[in-house]
Amino acid sequence: MVKSKVFILQKQFEGLPKPGDLKLVEEELPPLKDGEFLVEAVYLSVDPYMRAYAPNLPLGIPFIGSQVGIIKESKNPKFPVGKYVVGMFGWRSHSVANGESNNWASLPTYILPDFGKLSTSLGLGVLGMPGNTAYFGFLEICKPKAGETVVVSGAAGAVGNHVGQIAKIKGCKVIGIAGSDDKGKWLVDDLKFDHFINYKTQDVDKALKELAPEGIDCYFDNVGGEISTTVMNNMNTFGRVSVCGSISGYNDRTSKASVVQFAIVMKQLKVEGFIVSRWNDRWSEGIQQNLAWINEGKLKYKETVTEGFENMFNAFVEMLQGANFGKAVVKA
């Protein structure tokens, strides 16, 4: 019998998740049936979307999320023993899976592509769901053109920093908005963002007017709320907004912000939200392009790695509070 550690959703989050909301338990896994395989978690992901989806989850189930695991036993020839696999197996140290993608998020389960010497953990970040979120969500919805001005909020997060770098690759001027000067230094010095705004210490509206007097053409929005209204009020006619997330409101869905419709009408903005699974059929295109950019030295990445499966909850809360640089992952 294989035992698995599992975080169970015990209580619906109110505001920032609290330790008692998830409960760490141990459970015995059933023997494999035909078509199934056993996965041992190697890296687990903590992402903003987990907070967003939580209210839709029933109590008592393992908390949701993806992981890179290693296949320890298999009765499925497509998922052989010893291979790394990426899947939405939840917050579990061990899982029995069947390779189908019939999970809540409709995201694929797949053998990790060959990343060469790079860490398998990147399959949860720059070479996984967040990387594809940046690649498709920015390029397909913002449709950036060389010379345009792009603003990214949540710019130091897994998706945000990646979007800014793609915008630079595409010849755009890039302004990142994030919550600490350390993050800003990383964005500008290491990732070559043109400018950075610290929304905690600066007047975002004033800073945007100074840094982008030409107006903003594309906005990649990870945060929603007041920052987003401010950015949209500074956009050019026919600007495009890709809405990836709304982290500013995940802990309090009743939060209010200055209305966006005024900017949307007057500047004739096109604002579109997306969930990355709509591009499942192009999943490996995104991974391969991001991998190529890394190998060409055009795309950098950073991970905030927390050690220990039992520390997942802390890693999750710290990520929600903005403590991470780049992708937050947990090493099992």
- Does residue 259 belong to the site contacting a second copy (CB under 8 A)? yes
Strands 303-307 and 327-331: parallel
Residue 10 vs 233, nearer CB to a second copy: 233
Among 256, 281, 296, 297, which residue sits at the site for a second copy (rule: CB under 8 A)?
Answer: 256
C-alpha distances out from residue 228 to 63, 72, 198, 218, 235, Å: 29, 45, 14, 12, 11
Choose, by CB under 8 A, the member of 4, 93, 248, 324 that binds a second copy. 248
Residues in Cβ contact with 164 at an 8 Å cutoff, skipping those fewer than 6 apart: 150, 152, 155, 174, 176, 187, 191, 193
Q: What residues contact 282, with CB distance under 8 A and at least 6 apart? A: 136
Q: Which stretch binds a second copy (CB under 8 A): 83-91, 105-113, 266-274, 290-298?
A: 266-274
Joined together, the tokens standing for residue 295 give 């190998």
The verdict on 99 binding a second copy (CB under 8 A) reads no
Q: Which of 85, 269, 299, 312 binds a second copy (CB under 8 A)?
A: 269
- Please, which residue, 122 or 218, has the CB nearer to a second copy? 218
Q: Near a second copy by CB under 8 A, which window of 8-16, 22-30, 242-250, 300-308? A: 242-250
Size of site (CB under 8 A) for a second copy: 37
- Kindly state whether residue 12 participates in binding a second copy, applying the rule CB under 8 A: no
Contacting residue, 171, 262, 288, 308, with a second copy by CB under 8 A: 262
Give the Cα separation of 297 and 279 in Å (integer): 25
Q: Which of residues 182-221 bind a second copy (CB under 8 A)?
A: 221
At closest approach, how far in Å is the CB of 248 from a second copy?
A: 7
C-beta closer to a second copy: residue 4 or 228: 228
User: Shortest Cβ distance from residue 263 to a second copy (Å)?
Assistant: 8
Out of 198, 273, 302, 314, the residue judged to bind a second copy by CB under 8 A: 273
Residue 293 CB, nearest distance to a second copy (Å)?
A: 25
Q: Which one of residues 28, 117, 213, 265 is an interface residue with a second copy (CB under 8 A)?
A: 265
Yes or no: say if 248 and 223 are a contact pair by the CB < 8 Å rule. Answer: yes
Q: Which is nearer to a second copy, 17 or 123 (CB)?
A: 17
Q: 59, 11 in Cβ contact below 8 A?
A: yes
Assess contact for 139 and 116: CB atoms under 8 A: no
Shortest reach from residue 314's CB to a second copy, in Å: 25
Number of neighbours of residue 258 by Cβ within 10 angstroms: 13
**Torsion angle of the four alpha carbons 176, 174, 203, 260, in this order, in degrees rounded to the nearest 10:** -90
Pick from 68, 174, 244, 329 the residue near a second copy by CB under 8 A: 244
Question: Which of 272, 285, 307, 310 contacts a second copy by CB under 8 A?
Answer: 272
Min dist CB 107 to a second copy, Å, is 15
Identify the DSSP state of 104: T
Please spell the DSSP secondary structure of 176-227, one letter per residue.
EEES-HHHHHIIIIIS--SEEEETTTS-HHHHHHHH-TT-EEEEEESS-HHH
Q: CA-CA distances (angstroms) from residue 317 to 54, 245, 269, 309?
A: 13, 17, 34, 14
Minimum CB separation of residue 244 from a second copy in Å reads 7
Q: Are the C-beta atoms of 237 and 209 separated by less than 8 Å?
A: no
**Structure-block tokens of residue 230:** 């401010």
- What secondary structure letter does DSSP report for 260? S
Residue 74 found at the interface with a second copy (CB under 8 A): no
Q: Do 36 and 96 form a contact (C-beta atoms < 8 A)?
A: yes
Q: Binding residue for a second copy (CB under 8 A) from 121, 161, 228, 306?
A: 228
Q: What does the binding site for a second copy look like in residue numbers (CB under 8 A)?
A: 52, 221, 223-225, 228, 243-246, 248-250, 253-275, 278
